[in-house]
Amino acid sequence: MMIEYLVNSQGVPAEIATNGTAKVESLGLDSLSLLEMLFEVEQKFGLRVENLAPLKDMTIDGMAEFLAGLQVQTAAA
């Protein structure tokens, strides 16, 4: 879902969006774009991301792992 959003909505080249080691901040997303992406993820998976700041320092893989962890926590609650 994140990769589709990055490519289709933000115009990030697929080869960059699929590079899991790329930093989120290097993708050229502004805070609003990041918020929109997370809103879609929250809606689709029923997650709640409280703080966006740490996400900008993560890699794409790191963000995916972070969101997967939230999904596990949400399911366990």
What is the model's pTM? 0.77
CB atoms within 10 A of CB 25: 12
Cα 36 to Cα 3: distance, rounded to the nearest angstrom: 14
For residue range 27-51, list pLDDT tens digits in order.
888 888 888 888 888 888 888 888 8
- CB 6 within 8 Å of CB 12: yes
CB atoms within 10 A of CB 44: 9
Residue 61 binned pLDDT confidence (cut-offs 50, 70, 90) = very high
Tokens for 54, please give them: 């740490």
Name the residue among 29, 73, 25 with its Cα closest to residue 47: 73
**Domains plus CATH for the chain?**
2-76 (1.10.1200.10)
